Amino acid sequence: MKETDILIIGAGPVGLFTVFEAGLLGLNCELVDNLDKIGGQCIELYPDKPIYDIPGVANQTGKEHIEALLEQIKPFDYNVHLNTRVEKIEPKEEKWVVKTNNGSEFLTHNIFIAAGAGSFESRRPPVEDPDKFLGNGIEYAVRDKSKYKDKEITIFGGGDSALDWSVELAKTAKKIFLVHRRDEFRGAKHTESQMRKLVKEGKIELKIPYVIKDINGTDKFEGVNLMHFESKDIETISCDEALFFFGLNKQLGPILDWEVELKEKKIAVNTENFQTSKDGIFAVGDINTYPGKLDLILCGFHETTLAVQEAFKRINPGERVPFGYTTSNKGLQEKLKVNKN
Ligand SMILES: Cc1cc2nc3c(=O)[nH]c(=O)nc-3n(C[C@H](O)[C@H](O)[C@H](O)COP(=O)(O)OP(=O)(O)OC[C@H]3O[C@@H](n4cnc5c(N)ncnc54)[C@H](O)[C@@H]3O)c2cc1C
């Protein structure tokens, strides 16, 4: 079981800034997110949109904002665990044990729930037992590109992910089938043009207008049945892998079982330190609620700054929290210098 000062659930902007504030006080963090990348909503929902209300930054896209936060926390002591969902929280004396879906366990004084709107879950295809071959032929995200080399792959979806991965995997795959219910794509026009060029070159076969009907295979994934959207005719495709990009659902999921006080599907907090109804469990960013709450990044930054002060007190009872301006924080400046060299 790994021990840490702060276990942060959610690697969105507020989870990342928690690492910074904790680092200033000499605390280490473990950051857990069920997505396959860091950045929460900024990366998953609007990487290319400019944000205009980060103080002191005229504008920054979602992606640039996350890159800047990652740069800012470089000097500090933290680890990130992606594709990992926190499932259970249990008390152990003054501390908490945190258990994840893939079997890891953490022991900590402080849990920071920075879970935004809850965990993003990939939408499943509307077939019986869609996860039967999960990881063995069926995926909802590309975790390792090399797995698809020289394979026949069926990709479903009409947005950016389906287009991006069709174009990218076509470079090394044996064959790509791209399945969509209509001949219109929601993704970037530039990527759509690249995809159509690859169709002309015979590297991608477009299956339009088709939808998924069945996933085939008894002990082993064998391929998919497609249904023509208008005639309802069935076509069988044999392939090695299928990737479904049907978007994401936001779910509170396991948070509902953690017995922290909820108000209208958000976590109620004390605004003095952003602690929940349980000592040592804090909720910061979009996941919390209190009178006057705004779902803005800068509000989350304020919340977690105060919460980290309380977290320090829980680890060091009776000790004064070492407040200081970063302009005069010699330790931080030394670390930044070492990092630069
Ligand atoms: C289109 C759009 C535009 C926006 N523009 C602005 C803007 O201009 N300015 C602004 O201030 N705000 C803006 N926002 C809002 C802003 O993005 C959010 O306030 C911010 O992302 C909240 O950050 P967070 O870290 O609290 O949560 P999130 O960014 O939602 O990150 C939470 C993370 O926690 C993970 N998670 C949840 N549950 C679990 C679990 N059980 N286990 C593991 N991981 C879990 C999720 O997968 C997610 O990655 C915008 C939002 C959208 C959708």
The 10s digit of each residue's pLDDT in 219-234 is 999 999 999 999 999 9
The number of the ligand 1 atom at minimal distance from the alpha carbon of 52 is 8
Q: Phi and psi at residue 58, in whole multiples of 5°?
A: -60, -50
Tell me the domains of the chain and their CATH numbers: 2-120+249-340 (3.50.50.60), 124-246 (3.50.50.60)
Give the confidence band of 339 by pLDDT, cuts at 50, 70, 90. Answer: low
Pocket residue to mutate for ligand 1, from 122, 297, 298, 302, most atoms within 8 A of Cβ: 297
Cα–Cα nearest to 260, from 245, 274, 242: 274
Q: Which helix (H) or strand (E) holds 128?
A: none
The number of the ligand 1 atom at minimal distance from the alpha carbon of 32 is 43
Closest protein CA for atom 44 of ligand 1: 33
Ligand 1 site, residue 204, Cβ cutoff 6 A: no
Q: Is 300 exposed, middle or buried (0-12, 13-18, 19+ CB in 10 A)?
A: buried
Cα–Cα nearest to 309, from 283, 274, 277: 274
pLDDT exceeds 90 at position 187: no
Q: Which amino acid is at 133?
A: F
Closest protein CA for atom 2 of ligand 1: 46
The number of the ligand 1 atom at minimal distance from the alpha carbon of 54 is 11
CA dihedral for 204, 210, 211, 212, sign (positive or negative): negative
pTM of the predicted model as reported, rounded to 2 decimal places: 0.77
Q: Is 223 left (phi over 0), alpha (psi -120 to 50) or beta?
A: left
The number of the ligand 1 atom at minimal distance from the alpha carbon of 85 is 42
Strands (DSSP E) along 142-194, which ranges?
152-156, 175-179
CA of 276 relative to ligand 1 center, distance in Å = 19
pLDDT exceeds 80 at position 236: yes
DSSP 287: G
Pocket residue to mutate for ligand 1, from 18, 41, 266, 281, most atoms within 8 A of Cβ: 41
Ligand 1 site, residue 158, Cβ cutoff 6 A: no
Closest protein CA for atom 20 of ligand 1: 297
pLDDT tens digits along 51-95 = 999 999 999 999 999 999 999 999 999 999 998 999 999 999 999
Cα–Cα nearest to 174, from 227, 115, 249, 241: 241
Q: Phi and psi at residue 309, in whole multiples of 5°?
A: -60, -45
Ligand 1 site, residue 148, Cβ cutoff 6 A: no
The number of the ligand 1 atom at minimal distance from the alpha carbon of 252 is 38
Closest protein CA for atom 48 of ligand 1: 40
The CA distance from 125 to 88, in Å, is 27
Strands (DSSP E) along 131-278, which ranges?
138-139, 152-156, 175-179, 204-207, 210-216, 223-228, 234-238, 241-244, 248-251, 262-263, 266-268
Give the confidence band of 8 by pLDDT, cuts at 50, 70, 90. Answer: very high
User: 222-226 — which CB contacts under 8 Å span 24+ positions?
Assistant: 223/154, 224/154, 226/179
Peptide bond into 209 cis (omega under 30): yes
CA of 96 relative to ligand 1 center, distance in Å = 25
At 212, list the tokens. 């998924």
Give the bridge partners for 271, in sequence order.
none
pLDDT tens digits along 135-176 = 999 998 877 789 999 999 999 999 988 999 999 999 999 999
Ligand 1 site, residue 62, Cβ cutoff 6 A: no
| CB distance 63 to 51 below 8 Å | no
Give me the residue label for tokens 């908490």.
Answer: 96
Q: Is 299 exposed, middle or buried (0-12, 13-18, 19+ CB in 10 A)?
A: middle
At 192 the pLDDT is: 96
Q: Among residues of the chain, what percentage have pLDDT more than 90? A: 80
Cα–Cα nearest to 38, from 145, 120, 107, 106: 120
CA of 216 relative to ligand 1 center, distance in Å = 36
Ligand 1 site, residue 9, Cβ cutoff 6 A: yes
